[in-house]
Structure 1
């Protein structure tokens, strides 16, 4: 058994020492330059600044559709990319967003809300971006007066 372990150890030693080439031979100058450029730009994330982070539609009658526009500015030093915008429910639909915004430029997106609900309603819209955080959010809110038919359903007591 000692001979097997000794032989296996010798074989491993041969493999580990035979693969040690000079690593500097494998390094390409162009790759070093690209890595240096990438590392220099690593902290230059785009920064998104909104004109408002919440929009209040005020008081609405149940079922009244409304729409607003959120504007955002890239206050960072690299291209802002907004890859997706989704809302927390189907009653709020974001659309027509500016996908790429250069530094100093402004983009926008529309949010349509169907006005359904009762009392105070708040919905969140999430943006997937290439900012350092990776996602941003804005919200809408409204106070919805219940429709006259909402409370008229008859209730039969349990027996």
Structure 2
């Protein structure tokens, strides 16, 4: 019985040491260099920098459509890709942005249309989904929507 246990122990030691040597021999230096380069590039992100992060339309008539353009620049170290731009409601529509990668240092823009709905002070958030480190960026539009003069207010109406 001792001989069997001793034989198994010797066989196990031989198997472990031979596997260790084979694993070390399989390491390819070019793979290590490629992985290091990949990891260095993976830590570089595009950075979207807006010319303005908020636009105030001021005082507008109810139901009067208005629009503005948000300009931005990629100030990061990798190409910027905007995958989506959404508004906090259907009355505000972002459009006309490029879905092509924007090189570092390059500039782009998108248009935001607001249909003038609501009343008094109105604020809408536009969320930009991109490959930045945070993944989402936000800009805002504001307006003071004056009451519709053609709409009955209930005061003095019979």
Q: TM-score range by the shorter chain?
A: 0.7 to 0.9
Distance in 2 (alpha carbons) for counterparts of 1:43 and 1:154: 66
Change (3 A) 1:150 1:134: farther
- Matched position secondary structure for 1:34: helix
How far residue 153 of structure 1 moved from its aligned partner, in angstroms, is: 7.9
Displaced runs of 4 or more, over 4 A:
none
Query: Which residue number corresponds to residue 121 of structure 1?
Result: 122
Q: 1:53-106 CA deviation, whole Å, 9 max, x = no partner?
A: 000001011100011110100011110111111111000000111222111110
How far residue 34 of structure 1 moved from its aligned partner, in angstroms, is: 2.1
Change (3 A) 1:141 1:71: same
- Matched position secondary structure for 1:24: helix
Q: Paired residues, what number?
A: 141
Distance in 2 (alpha carbons) for counterparts of 1:45 and 1:103: 10
The TM-score, its normalising length taken from structure 1, stands at 0.79
Query: Which residue number corresponds to residue 67 of structure 2?
Result: 67
- Matched position secondary structure for 2:35: helix
How far residue 21 of structure 1 moved from its aligned partner, in angstroms, is: 2.3
Change (3 A) 1:147 1:45: same
Distance in 2 (alpha carbons) for counterparts of 1:138 and 1:47: 15
Distance in 2 (alpha carbons) for counterparts of 1:70 and 1:142: 16
Distance in 2 (alpha carbons) for counterparts of 1:112 and 1:104: 27
Distance in 2 (alpha carbons) for counterparts of 1:72 and 1:119: 29
1:130-141 counterparts in 2 under 5 A?
A: 130-141=131-142
For structure 1, which runs of at least 5 residues remain unmatched after alignment?
1-9
Q: 1:38-60 CA deviation, whole Å, 9 max, x = no partner?
A: 12223311111101000000101
